[in-house]
Amino acid sequence: MPAPPADVDDVDRAIVAALVADGRTSYTDLGKQVGLPTSTVHQRVRRLEQRGVLKGYTAVVDHEALGLPLSAIVSVTPFDPSAPDDVPERLGTVAEVESCWSVAGEESYVLLVRTETPGRLEDVLAAIRHAGQVATRTTVILSTPFEGRRRTP
């Protein structure tokens, strides 16, 4: 197991863990959880943000409630492997692509796509193939037992 970065101590890890559990936790409540005054916690959180340990705060969304019940994992492989590797930039205009990961293996990238219907997924796949100049392999997600599992540092 690699050694932890020297500039992140146990108190910082406790603050990060508390924010992972609930990103809306107040500085006062964080202070109570880690045993520090509110002003000190505020300073530590600000430093964690500045150092890039805390990259942002997000909401957990029910995609079905937003009318996006169909999710798919789409693996993409460029038609021309010698072409510049700019697939993420070329797919930036496809709004249904929620996430893009560069991966090792047969594919170059794996995408998370969310959409309304199977017909709309077909349209999105065509747009991905055209804009990205890629071949696709799609896996439709049937259910999500868990997602974004929170792991404490």
Kindly report, residue by residue over 39-68, the tens digit of the pLDDT. Answer: 999 999 999 999 999 999 888 889 999 999
Count of domains forming the chain: 2
pLDDT reported for residue 113: 98
- What confidence tier does 137 reach under pLDDT thresholds 50, 70, 90? very high
Q: What is the average pLDDT across 123-145? A: 96
Crossing angle of helices 38-50 and 10-21, in 10° steps, is 90
The whole model's pTM is what? 0.78
Q: What are phi and psi of 7, to 5 degrees?
A: -90, 5
Q: 3-state class of 128 per DSSP?
A: helix
In a domain? residue 104 = yes
Which residue type sits at 93?
Answer: T
Statement to judge: residues 137 and 74 lie in one domain: yes
Q: What's the pLDDT tens digit per position in 99-121?
A: 999 999 999 999 999 999 999 99
- Among the ranges given (1-15, 24-38, 52-66, 137-151), the one the predictor scored with the smallest mean pLDDT: 1-15
Sorted by sequence, the CB contacts under 8 Å of residue 149 that are 6+ apart come out as none
Statement to judge: residues 70 and 39 lie in one domain: no
Statement to judge: residues 27 and 68 lie in one domain: no
Q: What's the pLDDT tens digit per position in 74-100?
A: 999 999 988 889 999 999 999 999 999
Statement to judge: residues 131 and 103 lie in one domain: yes
**DSSP string covering 14-61:** HHHHHHHH-TT--HHHHHHHHT--HHHHHHHHHHHHHTTSS-------
d(CA 41, CA 28): 8
Statement to judge: residues 132 and 68 lie in one domain: yes
Q: What is the average pLDDT across 125-136? A: 96
Sorted by sequence, the CB contacts under 8 Å of residue 2 that are 6+ apart come out as none
For residue 38, the domain's CATH number is 1.10.10.10
pLDDT reported for residue 152: 61
Statement to judge: residues 136 and 86 lie in one domain: yes
Statement to judge: residues 109 and 75 lie in one domain: yes
Statement to judge: residues 75 and 101 lie in one domain: yes
Statement to judge: residues 133 and 69 lie in one domain: yes
Statement to judge: residues 109 and 136 lie in one domain: yes
Crossing angle of helices 10-21 and 27-34, in 10° steps, is 130
Q: Are 69 and 57 in contact (CB under 8 A)?
A: no
Domain that holds residue 39: 10-51
Q: Which two tokens stand for residue 88?
A: 């993420």
For residue 111, the domain's CATH number is 3.30.70.920
Statement to judge: residues 123 and 99 lie in one domain: yes
Query: Residue 109: is it exposed, middle or buried by C-beta count within 10 angstroms (0-12/13-18/19+)?
Result: buried
In a domain? residue 27 = yes
Statement to judge: residues 69 and 47 lie in one domain: no
